[in-house]
Structure 1
Amino acid sequence: MVVRVDVAPELLRWAVERAGWDEETTVRRAPQFIKWVRRETRPTLKQLEAFAEKTHTPFGFLFLPEPPDEPLPIPDMRTIGNAGVLRPSADLLDTVYLCQRRQDWYRDYASDNGAGPLGFVGSATLDTPPTQVAGDIAEGLDFGVEERQVFPNKGEVRRGLIDRIENIGVLVMVNGVVGADTHRKLDPAEFRGFALSDPLAPLIFVNGADTKAAQLFTLVHELAHIWLGRSALSEAAMDSREGETEEQWCNSVAAEVLLPLGELRSDYRGQATVEELDRLAKRYGISTLVVLKRIVDAGFLTRGEYTERYRAEHERVMELVRSKDGDGGGGNYYSTQPLRLSRRFARAVIASTLEGSTAYREAYQLLGTKKHATFEGLAEELKVA
């Protein structure tokens, strides 16, 4: 006997919207959806289970009388047209929850191993001049303009910045998908990153589906949130002039860290040509879009000129990215996975497991793997004996 179940149409619509499906995807992945919504037929229990799995919806939610409220567990600083983004996707929610679980584990690990509070967490307020905080960050990371000259290209600058942030005690996770699920790509248009502030285990997540140039700005932007001691989901849009005061403050800090105005004023050759943007971007290991923002911050361009130039430069940058086949999300698993997990976090989990303090099953869940061979491969890659 086929068991069919009643589901409120608004819950079916909510699940599809939450999953980020468009009309074409809905028709392809749930062919009976329209009939269910119109109550022309009811889904079988098996069909509903498959629908819940495909939309990444907790199965029990589909039996509620109305869609549940799923607020983000951290402050939402994003704006679209200066209005808050109201409904987070399932991909975003699952990413935040996963990072919170990993942070909870690492906090206990750090405490058990005698770690104390990190002094820079919460050391600033919105009244602290961004230039002062930028100087503190650059000094704390050993990431000043001269120190950056050792990196051969912008990709290495990003890698070096991540290592330096982790060296001061912050977990940095850069991932373009949900966990290890390559079928669930994160959307940079929804969010670029977030910060989970904590005195023992601060964590930064950067959307790895974004361009590497944008990731560099997001990394420092989220670090500024940590300096404030505040968790936040961020848009980290360097061209934004509106929105939350905290976001604008963090943007100012990030811009000053990446290209101090004093350096720019002495180095700028007077014309914001493509060649000049490229020259400065190469010298400072940053995006030409950051260079353009600093040129207007220094007063060398008007806001009107900047808006027009930013659009043109953004399109040029995106065309270059497309010609290089995007952000390059593939590669060797054992070289990319530590970046997704945070090297500091992954080393801690592996070491704790080998010492017998963490069960292998829990370690596999934390590291997003199911095989012991993968665990051993990560241990070898990270040189954890």
Structure 2
Amino acid sequence: MGKANPTILKWARETSGLSLEEAARKLSLGGKSISGAEALQAFEAGEKSPTRRQLMNMAKQYHRPFITFFLPAPPKSASMGEDFRRLPDAKREEHEGNVNALVRDIYIRQSLVKDALIDSEEDETVEFIGMGRAMPSIDEACRAIRDYFEIDIEVYRRKPNAHDAFNYLRALVEEKGIYVLLIGDLGSHHSSISTDAFRGFALSDPIAPFVVINQNDSKPAWCFTLLHEVAHLWLGKTGISAQTHEHLVERYCNDVASHLLITLDEVRQLFSDAQRSDEAFVSALQREASSLNISASLVAYRLFRSHLIDQGRWEQTSEELRELWLNSKSIRRSENSGSSGNFYNTQRHRAGGALIGLVRRSLHDGVLTETKAGRVLGVSPGNVAEMVGL
């Protein structure tokens, strides 16, 4: 196979978001006579060649196929669509390597799904994609989305918790041919991606549209993000979203998702009830929002957008709510430290019923191999049969 291309080695490291020092540490390079960074720099300068084992480790740490290192030039990067985020440079640099790797993974999964649909002659066009390109009023958008998916907000609110409410919305969306996945890392918690850098991703393909939600977010936030990304699909906009509202399209999709979940009159009433409560405002807001299976952050955003609170109070409230969520998440993690749950149930929920069903049919009909099926589901080939129930 020859020697690895030094230019590719440097490109792969840089696009994974790692400095020389960080990459050398992850690769366990260096020794008494030379530092890890110096050893890696020698590889990238073509002064020395890494061993096969070292290249295999690079492939793992850089999230690139092994064969990539032997290409004559860096491949063209797959577009992540529009970047609807507005991130500080430091935050972008911290997470961009993992985010780019995640987007590449989503595109690969979606491509395999699309091919499977075509080979199985299940490649029906999802007419919903791009129906709202003209960006009509928020009310018109809500009505169109609500009618298309037959969303009953009262049924949603009667669900016992936000997890079940999300499953209700997800089932309606997947029934229309849209795949909804929960992904928040690159295969392990060590590569976990913050919601500050990635909250959701919409891939607006007319045959195999994908919505990806950061599983690290709160469950009430999953519901909002699902509807937010669905709004992206309705606009025909492929792209990545985070917790920002400055971008015109992001603000539009935020408004659509929030109006689907709660009306302005309900926002006003909830605000009044929270203000009159004996509890601290943020705690009361959270309690009232939870009763509707929505996040208090969503309500705070609507209060701001409706001019019931100013931007300063909205930002302060959002920060306090985030601290409450992080604290409760830490407590739950400590309480559940001895139990990781059932692997297959967890992976099934992350993949979603629509994807599980397609993979099961495709395996049965010989359209997908177990290797490709594992790629689609994000598990090793040996776990595929058990995961899809074959």
TM-score (norm 2): 0.80
Name the structure 2 match of 1:248: 251
Instruction: Tell me the CA shift for residue 285 of structure 1.
Output: 0.3
CA RMSD of aligned residues (A): 3.5
1:281 to 289, 301, 308: 289
> Partners of 1:379 and 1:5 in 2: how far apart?
38
Whether the 8 Å contact between 1:269 and 1:276 is mirrored in structure 2 is no
> Partners of 1:44 and 1:28 in 2: how far apart?
15
Letter in 2 for 1:307: E
Name the structure 2 match of 1:378: 387
Whether the 8 Å contact between 1:177 and 1:184 is mirrored in structure 2 is yes
2:196 to 183, 189, 192: 189
| Identity, % of aligned positions | 25
Instruction: Tell me the CA shift for residue 129 of structure 1.
Output: 0.9
**Structure 1 stretch displaced more, 60-69 or 197-206:** 60-69
Name the structure 2 match of 1:42: 48
Residue 7, structure 1, aligned to residue 17, structure 2: no
Q: List runs of 5+ in structure 2 lacking aligned partners.
A: 31-35, 276-280
Per the alignment, do residues 375 and 46 of structure 1 end up closer, same or farther by CA in structure 2, a change over 3 Å counting?
closer
Whether the 8 Å contact between 1:255 and 1:294 is mirrored in structure 2 is yes
Instruction: Tell me the CA shift for residue 50 of structure 1.
Output: 3.5
Instruction: Tell me the CA shift for residue 142 of structure 1.
Output: 3.9
Instruction: Tell me the CA shift for residue 227 of structure 1.
Output: 0.9
Name the structure 2 match of 1:173: 181
Instruction: Tell me the CA shift for residue 154 of structure 1.
Output: 1.5
Name the structure 2 match of 1:18: 15
* 1:230-256 CA distance string (max 9 Å, x none): 221222x2xx3423x212211111111
Per the alignment, do residues 28 and 84 of structure 1 end up closer, same or farther by CA in structure 2, a change over 3 Å counting?
closer
For residues 106-125 of structure 1, the aligned pairs below 5 Å read: 106-108=116-118, 112-113=121-122, 116-125=124-133
* 1:271-324 CA distance string (max 9 Å, x none): 551343123212220111111111222322122221222222222222222222
Name the structure 1 match of 2:263: 260
For residues 344-383 of structure 1, the aligned pairs below 5 Å read: 344-360=354-370, 362-370=372-380, 374-380=383-389
Q: List runs of 5+ in structure 1 lacking aligned partners.
A: none
Letter in 2 for 1:19: S
Name the structure 1 match of 2:33: none
2:145 to 137, 157, 167: 137
Residue 29, structure 1, aligned to residue 27, structure 2: yes
Choose between structure 1 and 2: higher helix proportion: 2
Name the structure 2 match of 1:215: 222
| SS of 1:324 mapped into structure 2 | helix
> Partners of 2:135 and 2:379 in 1: how far apart?
44
Whether the 8 Å contact between 2:5 and 2:72 is mirrored in structure 1 is no
Name the structure 1 match of 2:278: none
Residue 96, structure 1, aligned to residue 93, structure 2: no
Letter in 2 for 1:304: G
Instruction: Tell me the CA shift for residue 269 of structure 1.
Output: 1.9
Per the alignment, do residues 285 and 64 of structure 1 end up closer, same or farther by CA in structure 2, a change over 3 Å counting?
same
Whether the 8 Å contact between 2:304 and 2:311 is mirrored in structure 1 is yes
> Partners of 2:241 and 2:192 in 1: how far apart?
18
Residue 74, structure 1, aligned to residue 81, structure 2: yes
Name the structure 1 match of 2:241: 234
Whether the 8 Å contact between 1:91 and 1:186 is mirrored in structure 2 is no
Name the structure 2 match of 1:310: 318
| SS of 2:212 mapped into structure 1 | strand
Instruction: Tell me the CA shift for residue 174 of structure 1.
Output: 0.8
Per the alignment, do residues 269 and 48 of structure 1 end up closer, same or farther by CA in structure 2, a change over 3 Å counting?
same
Per the alignment, do residues 356 and 17 of structure 1 end up closer, same or farther by CA in structure 2, a change over 3 Å counting?
closer
Per the alignment, do residues 16 and 375 of structure 1 end up closer, same or farther by CA in structure 2, a change over 3 Å counting?
closer
Per the alignment, do residues 362 and 55 of structure 1 end up closer, same or farther by CA in structure 2, a change over 3 Å counting?
closer
Letter in 1 for 2:162: K
> Partners of 1:253 and 1:315 in 2: how far apart?
26
Letter in 2 for 1:95: D
Instruction: Tell me the CA shift for residue 128 of structure 1.
Output: 0.6
Whether the 8 Å contact between 2:270 and 2:285 is mirrored in structure 1 is no
Counting matched residue pairs gives: 369
Letter in 2 for 1:129: S
TM-score (norm 1): 0.81
**Structure 1 stretch displaced more, 64-73 or 144-153:** 64-73
Letter in 2 for 1:45: T
**Structure 1 stretch displaced more, 309-318 or 285-294:** 309-318
> Partners of 1:291 and 1:231 in 2: how far apart?
26
| SS of 1:194 mapped into structure 2 | strand
Whether the 8 Å contact between 2:82 and 2:240 is mirrored in structure 1 is yes
Residue 334, structure 1, aligned to residue 344, structure 2: yes
**Structure 1 stretch displaced more, 290-299 or 221-230:** 290-299
